[in-house]
Amino acid sequence: MIYTFPRKKLKQKFKRMHLEVINMKKIGIVGGLSAESTIEYYKILIAEYNKRKGGMASPLLVIDSLNLEELVGLVSEDKWDEVFEIIFQSAKYLESAGAEVIIIATNTIHKIFDRMQKAIKTHMISILEVTAEAAKNLNLRKIGLLGTKFTMQGDFFQEVFERYNLEIIVPEQGDQEYVNDVIFKELTFNIINEKSKHGYIEVIKKLQEMGAEGVILGCTEIPLLIKEEDSPIPTFDTTTLHANAALEYAIK
């Protein structure tokens, strides 16, 4: 016997699902920095939304994928005004596409986050703020930071974390170069190397010896390589924290 779902109930079910999707805010993502981490954002947002809503539900998203080579070149030359202009134009494009909340899917570019938020009307969610809140919720005081050398050598993480009475520490110079090389030579190309994983774990252990009670995976590609179970201290996956915070905002 073939059971046919009543057409009226089927229409009501899909109408209900449609309204749930329409009621969420559309998320805009400044992506491509790198493409691999943007893919992770996309997968996390879809999986988490579907887990909550069920069926075939997927969130409203729009992504503007930028040229990583261009942005890295400008950052390395300390041309932050030009970086700002590119990100600003991307944010304006997302606004024109209907984005009601915007996230920049990378850590390093958050150096200009405050300036960007003042320049556009749409609400933005800071990867720095959501990570600091997660660390504060674990009652930690000193946290290690892994990321690109621009992130580790900058002061924008420290400025935000100080507002939460949290101290940021970074690896020694040689380890910073190593962490940065793995990001740009392997992880941005989705090359997952066991040797590099062990190398990162050794860097984390050194941070622990320096007093770190947790470690920020402060480049959105690092969670591709290092998982919570790999680390001797708690990890803060900035990609997942950021994506989930955007989804929470969008569905409230």
Catalytic site residues?
106, 219
- Rounded Cα distance between 214 and 188, Å, is 24
- Rounded Cα distance between 143 and 65, Å, is 31
Q: Burial level of 6, CB count in 10 A (0-12/13-18/19+)?
A: exposed
- Rounded Cα distance between 107 and 237, Å, is 11
Of 231, 239, 44, 246, give the one whose Cα is nearest residue 143. Answer: 231
Which H helix or E strand runs over 246? helix 238-251
- Rounded Cα distance between 146 and 159, Å, is 16
- Rounded Cα distance between 123 and 252, Å, is 14
Angle at 92 between CA 87 and CA 94, to 5 degrees: 95
DSSP category for residue 111: G
Tokens (6 digits) for 140 = 């930690």
Q: Can you state the percent helix, strand and coil of the chain, rounding each to 5?
A: 60, 10, 30
